[in-house]
Amino acid sequence: MTQHDRSLTGMGACRLCSGPVREFFDFGRQPVSDAFRDPADTSPEFHYDLRIGVCGGCAMVQQLTEVPRAQMFHSEYPYRSSLSSGSRKHFEAYAHHLLDTRLAGADPFVVEIGCNDGVMLRTIGGAGVRHLGFEPSGGAADSARAAGVSVVVDFFEERTARAARAEHGPADVVFSANTVSHIAYLDSIFAGVDALLAPDGVFVVEDRYLGDIVANTAFDQVYDEHFYLFSVTSVRNLARRFGFELVDITRLPVHGGTIRFTIARAGAEPSAAVTERLHAEQAGGLADPATLEAFGGRVRHARDELVALLRGLRAEGRSVVGYGATAKSATTINYCGITPELVPYICDSTPEKHGKLAPGSGIPVRSSSAFAEPYPDYALLFAWNHTEEILAKEHAFTEAGGRWITYVPEVRVI
**Confidence at 121, pLDDT banded by 50, 70, 90:** very high
pLDDT in tens, 44-103: 999 999 999 999 999 999 999 998 877 777 667 677 888 778 889 999 999 999 999 999
Q: CATH topology of 81-267 equal to that of 290-413? A: yes
**Mean pLDDT in the chain?**
94
Determine the pLDDT at residue 74.
64
Q: Is the pLDDT of residue 1 over 50?
A: no
What percentage of residues in the chain have a pLDDT greater than 70?
A: 96
Overall average pLDDT of the 99-117 stretch: 96
Decide which of 3 and 158 is more confident.
158
H-type helices in 242-360, by residue range?
272-284, 289-315, 329-336
Q: CB–CB of 412/404 below 8 Å?
A: no
What percentage of residues in the chain have a pLDDT greater than 90?
A: 88
Determine the pLDDT at residue 316.
98
The domains of the chain are located at 81-267, 290-413
Q: Which residues of 182-203 are buried (b: 16+ CB within 10 A; e: fewer)?
A: bbbbbebbbbbbebbbbeebbb
SS3 of the chain: the string is: CCCCCCCCCCCCECCCCCCEEEEEEEEEEEECCCCCECCCCCCCCCEEEEEEEEECCCCCEEECCCCCHHHHCCCCCCCCHHHCHHHHHHHHHHHHHHHHCCCCCCCCEEEEECCCCCCCHHHHHHCCCEEEEECCCHHHHHHHHHCCCCEECCCCCHHHHHHHHHHHCCEEEEEEECCHHHCCCHHHHHHHHHHHEEEEEEEEEEEEEHHHHHHCCCHHHCCCCCCEEECHHHHHHHHHHCCEEEEEEEEECHHHCEEEEEEEECCCCCCHHHHHHHHHHHHHCCCCHHHHHHHHHHHHHHHHHHHHHHHHHHHCCCCEEEECCCCCHHHHHHHHCCCCCCCCCEEECCHHHCCCECCCCCCEEEEHHHHHCCCCCEEEECCHHHHHHHHHHCHHHHHCCCEEEECCCCCEEC
**Homologous superfamily of domain range 290-413:** NAD(P)-binding Rossmann-like Domain (3.40.50.720)
pLDDT in tens, 368-395: 999 999 999 999 999 999 999 999 999 9
Q: How far is CA 142 from CA 91, 150, 177, in A?
A: 19, 10, 19
Q: Is the pLDDT of residue 8 over 50?
A: no
pLDDT in tens, 289-329: 999 999 999 999 999 999 999 999 999 999 999 999 999 99
pLDDT in tens, 11-33: 589 999 999 999 999 999 999 99
Determine the pLDDT at residue 9.
36
Determine the pLDDT at residue 4.
36
Beta strand pairing call for 61-63 and 47-55: antiparallel
Evaluate whether the domain defined by 81-267 bears CATH number 3.40.50.150.
yes
Overall average pLDDT of the 274-282 stretch: 98
